[in-house]
Structures are given as structure tokens and as C-alpha cells.
Chain A
Amino acid sequence: MQGLKLAFNYLRIGIMNEFQYRANLYIQILQTFIALGTGLIGLNLVFSQTSELGGWDRTELLAVMGVFITMGGIIRAAIQPNMERLMEDIREGLLDFALTKPADAQILISVREFRLWQLVDVVTGMIVLGVALSQMNWLVGVWDVLAFFSALAMGAVMIYCFWLIVTSTAFWFVRVHEIANLFEGLYAAGRWPVGIYPTWLRMALTFIIPVAFAVTVPAEALTGRLNLQTWLGALALTVVLFFASRALLKFGLRSYSGASA
């Protein structure tokens, strides 16, 4: 309960901070439009040559793109900034300031930053998704919608856990900044359903970097492809990743000796 209140307060501060830089909103809108434009061009190029890709037709792939943009926005608004700050704090020895506060360390380090303007991506992604669904004549049931939102939430948690695991390695290997670059490169694979990738890559995108669960599975829910088995699998993996990442963070914190003194 206290954690929730804390998270809410940090969110409020984060939003107020962002309101100081309103010009960034316009830059963000432009960047989102450029990214959307190039994405649509790519999609159009593919479908100028073929009518389906790996069993997905054009509107269904548009839905995948919508989820991809939405999830990307969530990651860049709430997950990535916190993890990058954690990395920086570990390297500079500034984490002490967070650790000495009387709150759960994991909650604290996970809510300190929030990039409000990235939500432009979330909104845009939802619009793209809406367009795709209207082209499919909104053939989605209540259960599909519930499955979609739960899959999206689990996907976001899994990406968060993945980042936390990677970031925690900063306790031992100080220079992990390139990993952010690596993640962005691999996340881009989520623009297409993971089914089209060769098996080894599909496995990597499912179990090493959970891009498949973050994008493809929610999209499957909306296009009526998701079965209970996959949903339960996602739930199990979310739980496992959550406890694994928490354990690793705690282990890392124990070996953190600070550098500010």
C-alpha cells in the first residue's frame, strides 16, 4: 500500500518535471509520426509483394504494429529511464541515496523516473490498433479484450524483469550501457510476429528477451489466436522472471558497497 502511494507520488513529480519541457512534446510527436510513417512504408512494401506473411494478413500485422508501438512507448516512458538511472547510479556510486530511504529498494529504483511525452507512442499505438480492429470489423469478444490487456500487462512486467536482470549485472560489470543499444535492436524484431523467425531466433526472442510475450502474444489475443496454454505459460514465466529478477537485485545490492563516501 505504501509502495503504491510512493509510486504515485513519484509519478506526479515526474509529470510535473516533464511539464517544464513542453517543447519536447512536439519533438516527440514528430518522432512518433516519423517512426509510424517508416513502419507503414515497410508494411506496405511487404504487402505490395504478397498477401500474407507467416499466416498473418495485412490488417492483422497492422494490429501487431499497434501493439509494438504501444509497448515501445510503455518501455521508454516507465521502464528504460529507471533502469538507465539505476545503471548510472551504480556506476557513479550514487545508489546510496536511494538505499538509505525507508522503503523497499526495488520499488524505489523502479519508480524514480517517468517520461510523460513517451505516452504519445502509447496513444498512437492504440490508435493504430483501433484502425486495425475497425478493418477487422471489431470481431473481438469480451474474453479477447481481457486476454489482450492481461497479456499486455504480463508482457510489460516481463520486459521490466528482463531490464532489471540486465541492469543488476552492472553491480559486477560496470560498463553495460551497450546493452541498452542491444535491447533496442532486438526489440525491433517485435514489429513482426515471432512466428516468422527461424527457430533459434524465435527461442531467443521468447525466453531470453521476452519480445514474443510483450508484442506477439497480446496481438494474438486480439486476432483470436491465443490459446489458454500460451496464456498460462506467459503467466508462469512472468512469475518466475519476477522472483528471479528480484533475487538477483537483492544479491547485487549485497555486493554493492557504495562509492559516494
Chain B
Amino acid sequence: MKRYFDYYISMMKISVLEQWQYPVANYFYMIGMIAEPVIYMVVWSAVANQQGGMVGGYTPGTFAAYYIVWTLVRQMNIAFTPYGWEWRIRNGRLSTSLMRPIHPLHEDVSFFAGWKVVMIILWIPLAFALSLIFKPELNPTLLEGVVFFIAIWMAYLIRTITLSLLGMVTFWTTRVSALFELYFAAELILSGRLVPLSLMPVWVQELAWFFPFRWAFGFPIEALVGQLTMTDMLIGLGMQVAWVVGGWIVVHLIWKVAIRRFSAVGG
């Protein structure tokens, strides 16, 4: 246990030092990403205004809150992309990681976790600027804040696990970009990224329950923007734990089979 703890701390430190060297590059990346929620925010605020100030339970102010918190959750659930897995497997990069006496996934989880620290620090001024412009209505309670904090890290783990599973498909076939695109489209619709799920048709909302996307995106935002009851929050956290634990088990099972495949490809 202590071995893992030490590994994580060192890896996160390395990652923080590495990423802190490129604040401008990180900022460009972040601003490119922030364009997306700003577009949604403007469109939906316009719709709300046209409908007399409210649509689907959201006012321009709560839309602003939703999409500004969105930007933080988006930063939090950036994980190693399946395209990266494709590259890693095709180039045989994985061999190096496999030589180490620790599961390669820990390397990804800890490296990106360290990066998050830099991301959060860089995100604060941007969020401040967005708040000045769009005036979000956000009054979280202490409890909601705590739930949010736990939920964003769980969201990060869920997304890491699902993206890794998707990336591991590359062990079997190397042309998978079409599959990745389908996955990202499903994520866009079912996660609350395009619009808050309450604006979606009811069947989409029900469908969203069975996929990891909502628990890795919409749920943390809603926990903070504050339309969830205590029960909803507990259910949400429960679903997150279930996805993390279940996902981790599946990763291990697939990994065992996949890694045999890999030695066949790389050898």
C-alpha cells in the first residue's frame, strides 16, 4: 500500500513540475476548450430569454453557473485518450511500462492527477473572468461543495477507466478511430455536456442512467449547481463508486487477456 502511495505522490510531483513549465500552451488548450461551453451558454441563455426568462428549470444565471462549473469538470475528466493508447500499442511504447513492477494504468492515473493540480490553478482566473462576464447564480452549501469535490475526482477515475477500456480495444484491432468517434458522440449526448440532461427528452434521461457518461460529467455539475436532493446526491455518489469498482475489475480481467495478445504483436 505504501509503495503505491509513494509512487502516486512522486508521479504527481513530476507531473506538476512538468506541466507548470508550459502555462501558455496549457492556456491555449484551455481557451480552445472553453469556447465550447460558452457557445452553449450563449445559445441557451438566448432561448431562455426568448421563453420569458426560463427554460427547463434554468435561467440565464443558472445556465451560466452550469456551464462555468462545466469547464472545471471538463478539465477534471481529461484522461489519457484512446488515440494515445492506439499510438502506444502500435509503437510498442507499452513494453517499457510493462517492465516496471507496477500496473501501467497507475502511471496514467497518477500523471494526469498531478496535471489536474496545475489545471485547477490555471482555471481559477479563467473562471473568474467568465463569472464577471456571464454572472452565474451559484450559491452552493458546504455539503454540496464537499460532494462536488469528491464527485469530480470520482468522475476523473470513471473517465480514465472507460477511456482505458476503449483504448485497450486497440490490442485486438488497430483501426478504431470510428469506434472512438461513436463513443465520443454518445458521451456528448448522454453526459450533460451538450445541455443539462433535464432539457433532454425523458427517454434520453432514462438511458443516461445506464452509461458512465452522466456520472463522469453531469452529476458533479448538478451536485454543485444545486438542484439535487440529499437522496439524489447519495445515489449519484453510489453510482460513481459502482462504476469505479466495476470498471476497475473489468479493466483487470481484460488486461490479463489483452496483454497476452500484446506480446504476440510486439514479439
A binding-site residues for B, Cβ under 8 Å? 23, 26-27, 30-31, 34, 37-38, 41-42, 45-46, 49-50, 52-54, 175, 178-179, 181-186, 188-189, 191-192, 196-198, 200-201
Contacts and interface: CB of A to CB of B under 8 A. Distances in A.
Interface in B178-192: 178, 181-182, 185, 188-189
B51 A50 contact: yes
Task: Give the 5 A-B residue pairs with the shortest CB-CB distance, closest first.
Answer: A178-B28, A185-B32, A185-B35, A182-B32, A181-B32
A30 B178 CA distance: 7
Contact of A178 (B29, B178, B188, B189): B29
From DSSP, what is the main secondary structure of chain B's interface residues?
Answer: helix
A49 B200 CA distance: 11
Interface string B89-108: 00000000000000000000
B1 interface: no
Interface in B16-47: 25, 28-29, 31-36, 38-39, 42-44, 46-47
Nearest to A178: B28
A179 B178 CA distance: 25
Contacts of B36: 185, 188
Contacts of B185: 34, 37-38
Contact of B133 (A42, A45, A183, A198): A198
Contacts of B35: 182, 185-186, 188-189
Contacts, number: 89
A49 B32 contact: no
A49 to B, nearest CB: 5
Given A38-B189, A49-B47, A182-B31, A188 B181 contact: no
Contacts of B47: 46, 49-50, 53
A49 B55 contact: yes
Interface size range on B against A: 20 to 34
A201 B28 contact: no
Contacts of B175: 23, 27
21 contacts: A23-B175, A27-B175, A27-B177, A31-B177, A31-B181, A34-B181, A38-B194, A42-B194, A42-B195, A45-B194, A54-B46, A181-B28, A182-B29, A183-B32, A185-B31, A185-B32, A185-B33, A188-B36, A191-B39, A192-B39, A198-B133
A200 to B, nearest CB: 8
B267 interface: no
B199 interface: yes
A179 B27 CA distance: 10
A54 B33 CA distance: 24
Contacts of A34: 181-182, 185
B56 A49 contact: yes
B28 A31 contact: no
B50 interface: yes
